[in-house]
Chains A and B, each alone.
Chain A
Amino acid sequence: MEETLNKNIKTEISVKNLNLHYGEFHALKNITMDIPEHEITALIGPSGCGKSTFMKTLNRMNDLEQGVKIDGTVLLDGVDIYKTMDAIELRKRVGMVFQQPNPFPKSIFENVVYGPRINGIRNKEKLMEICERSLKQAAIWDELKDRLNKSALGLSGGQQQRLCIARTLAVEPEVILMDEPTSALDPISTGKIEELAMQLKKDYTIVIVTHNMQQATRISDNTAFFLLGEMVEYGKTDDVFANPKDERTERYITGRFG
């Protein structure tokens, strides 16, 4: 399937023969895919198909759960993230935005600079600079610049989600994973997040899990379709949606199941 991707674009993450077991349950079956740099790659599929689980293997968030067993290789810039890279270092390079906006119960400012702070940056001016840059990148600076010291929990859901994106950007990752980032939001906020993702791909590689096929066609460059722990089809978004190679993909995108 790799041949369907443009060979000129550098591969950021390369997954080979990845299997994941939750105890007895075989949740991911022999996944192999290359995720290109500075593009948006969408993971679609019905609930429980393993797309979120797969995404979590890319920054080892699965390490936090018990009874998870992983084999196969995941390379980030050619380095094996399970064998030779430290999970903490990996997560600084591969950031994540969650389904439910999850700001910490702190001020907006403290939320954004949380990452830099734990990385040892103490200089107040430097932190302010990072805060402003990250909020601007997340296109929310104008809305929040006058209330940086207010609690982040008082923001609307859409604002919270963009704040969480800013918080991720503050660590300056290479890859941003987004786990259904708009499923808890209204259409206007969803539009803003989608627009943001399109802008961010200039500097970052983005992987997004989505339930919403329109969203995948609107913003993604590549699409992977997951079903029952298997990656059924992976290719350029236009190709996957216009002429799916697999019959199951066709049935899913035409809305016949899932």
Chain B
Amino acid sequence: MESGKETNRNTKITKSYYFRKEYLGRGFATGCGIFIIVLTFAIGIFLLVRGTGTFTKFHHSIAEFLFSADWSPVDTAQGSGGGVGAAIFIVGSLLTCGLALAMITPFALGAAVFMTEIAPKAGEKIFRPAVEIFVGIPSVVYGWIGLTVLVPFIRDVFHAKMGGYSVLAASIVLAVMIFPTITTVAADAIRSTPDSCRKAGYGLGSTRWQVIYRIVIPASKNGIFTGIILGLARAFGEALAVAMVIGKTKSFPKNLLSPTSNLTAEIAADMGNTASGGEANMALWSMALLLFLISMLFIFLIHLISGSGKKKEKD
């Protein structure tokens, strides 16, 4: 017993013991935490430096970049004097995302209600895994299906010019892609509504539909908005799937069936083909910077929503 006591406690608690057993691991963990901040800032700063070249090196105005439709940058390493108006691409992005959102939001919310309120068991067992598969399918595969199924379909049904490459095709592909995002986030929000609220509703003689749209949906409003914004963010940043079906013509669309282009498709198509550091190349980097800033804006909006939610709870 006594001898055991000695062997068992022979580790002296010294500085080097603490170094090996605590500070080393703790240091690595802290370092990795800080690394994430550094990485995020690095991405922001590199894009900022590169993306502002259009305005500093080539002296274009921000207003021209945002609002002009004259896209004719000079694609040589040194030349300048072309137009860098990205309005077509900006409008293309806004239009396709807006349309996708308008198309899918009611259905995505319906699906969220279905999997939580109407058929929670089937929702958990069948619907959730299915939605996960939706999320998991790579975006190029969505693009490829859009290209080989949707585009010919639109061409044949609507007799669209340009063989079916269109705003409509891009919007539908995006809609299918953002559906799982909106549904899962909204479903989580709906699920976290306290059961007592529902019971109170039923206790007052409400039908299930009344409980859903008078109590459950208003109570999970913040989560639903967060889901919609996350979906929008995903749509905005999606590149290849859209690029495959939008047609990539550098003009405003005349209607839903005509082709256009958007920010991501333009970057994906031309970044590698322009002379590095030239006017055209720098304009593309400005578009990348714009994408970065927009995704930051979405984060900010989500914080605003959850912040207002918390405040209300406190009041």
Q: A contacts B directly in the complex (CB < 8 Å)?
A: yes
Give the one of B7, B8, B9 with max A CB within 10 A. B8
Q: Which residues of A are found within 8 Å of B8, using beta-carbon distances?
A: 116, 119, 121, 130, 171-172
Docked pose: A130 CA to B4 CA in angstroms: 9
Q: Are A119 and B13 in contact (CB under 8 A)?
A: no
Docked pose: A257 CA to B144 CA in angstroms: 75
Q: Which residues of A are found within 8 Å of B11, using beta-carbon distances?
A: 119-120
Docked pose: A185 CA to B8 CA in angstroms: 31
Q: Are A172 and B13 in contact (CB under 8 A)?
A: no
Q: Which residues of B are found within 8 Å of A130, using beta-carbon distances?
A: 4, 8
Q: Which residues of B are found within 8 Å of A171, using beta-carbon distances?
A: 8
Residue A89 CB within 8 A of the other chain:
yes
Tally the A-B contacts, defined by beta carbons under 8 Å. Answer: 25
Residue A77 CB within 8 A of the other chain:
no
Q: Are B9 and A86 in contact (CB under 8 A)?
A: no
Residue A195 CB within 8 A of the other chain:
no
Docked pose: A89 CA to B21 CA in angstroms: 13
Contacting B9 at CB < 8 Å: which of A92, A126, A133, A203? A92
Q: Are A203 and B13 in contact (CB under 8 A)?
A: no
Residues 1 to 32 of chain B near chain A (Cβ within 8 Å):
1, 4-5, 7-11, 13
Residue tally, chain A, CB below 8 Å to B? 15
Q: Which residues of B are found within 8 Å of A89, using beta-carbon distances?
A: 13
Contact with A along B251-270 (1 / 0, CB 8 A): 00000000000000000000
Residue A88 CB within 8 A of the other chain:
yes
Docked pose: A93 CA to B8 CA in angstroms: 11
Residues 124 to 151 of chain A near chain B (Cβ within 8 Å):
126, 130, 133
Q: Is the interface of B mostly helix, strand, loop or mixed?
A: loop
Q: Which residues of B are found within 8 Å of A120, using beta-carbon distances?
A: 10-11
Interface size class of B (residues with CB under 8 A): under 10
Cβ of B38 to closest chain A Cβ, rounded Å? 27
Q: Are B9 and A119 in contact (CB under 8 A)?
A: yes
Docked pose: A203 CA to B1 CA in angstroms: 10
Residues 159 to 181 of chain B near chain A (Cβ within 8 Å):
none
Cβ of B10 to closest chain A Cβ, rounded Å? 8
Docked pose: A116 CA to B1 CA in angstroms: 14
Contacting B13 at CB < 8 Å: which of A86, A116, A126? A86
Of all chain A residues, the one with the shortest Cβ separation from B4 is: A172
Docked pose: A51 CA to B53 CA in angstroms: 68
Q: Which residues of A are found within 8 Å of B13, using beta-carbon distances?
A: 86, 88-89
Docked pose: A86 CA to B4 CA in angstroms: 21
Residues 189 to 235 of chain A near chain B (Cβ within 8 Å):
203
Cβ of A59 to closest chain B Cβ, rounded Å? 14
Docked pose: A249 CA to B10 CA in angstroms: 44
Q: Which residues of A are found within 8 Å of B4, using beta-carbon distances?
A: 130, 133, 172
Q: Which residues of B are found within 8 Å of A126, using beta-carbon distances?
A: 7
Contact with A along B101-139 (1 / 0, CB 8 A): 000000000000000000000000000000000000000
Docked pose: A88 CA to B23 CA in angstroms: 14
Q: Which residues of A are found within 8 Å of B5, using beta-carbon distances?
A: 172
Of all chain A residues, the one with the shortest Cβ separation from B14 is: A86
Residues 226 to 253 of chain A near chain B (Cβ within 8 Å):
none
Docked pose: A121 CA to B5 CA in angstroms: 13
Q: Which residues of B are found within 8 Å of A92, using beta-carbon distances?
A: 9
Residues 76 to 130 of chain A near chain B (Cβ within 8 Å):
86, 88-89, 92-93, 116, 119-121, 126, 130
Q: Which residues of A are found within 8 Å of B7, using beta-carbon distances?
A: 121, 126
Of all chain B residues, the one with the shortest Cβ separation from A85 is: B13
Docked pose: A126 CA to B10 CA in angstroms: 15
Q: Which residues of B are found within 8 Å of A133, using beta-carbon distances?
A: 4
Docked pose: A130 CA to B9 CA in angstroms: 13
Q: Which residues of A are found within 8 Å of B10, using beta-carbon distances?
A: 119-120
Of all chain A residues, the one with the shortest Cβ separation from B1 is: A203
Of all chain A residues, the one with the shortest Cβ separation from B7 is: A121
Residues 79 to 113 of chain B near chain A (Cβ within 8 Å):
none
Of all chain B residues, the one with the shortest Cβ separation from A203 is: B1
Docked pose: A121 CA to B9 CA in angstroms: 10
Docked pose: A121 CA to B13 CA in angstroms: 15
Docked pose: A120 CA to B16 CA in angstroms: 14
Q: Which residues of B are found within 8 Å of A119, using beta-carbon distances?
A: 8-11
Of all chain B residues, the one with the shortest Cβ separation from A174 is: B5
Cβ of B24 to closest chain A Cβ, rounded Å? 15
Interchain residue pairs A-B with the least CB separation, the first 4: A86-B13, A89-B13, A172-B5, A172-B8
Q: Can you list 15 A-B pairs with a CB-CB distance of less than 8 A?
A: A86-B13, A93-B9, A116-B8, A119-B8, A119-B9, A119-B11, A120-B10, A121-B7, A121-B8, A126-B7, A130-B8, A172-B1, A172-B5, A172-B8, A172-B9
Could you list 7 further interchain pairs (A-B, Cβ under 8 angstroms) beyond the known A89-B13, A119-B10, A121-B8? Answer: A86-B13, A93-B9, A116-B8, A119-B8, A119-B11, A130-B8, A203-B1
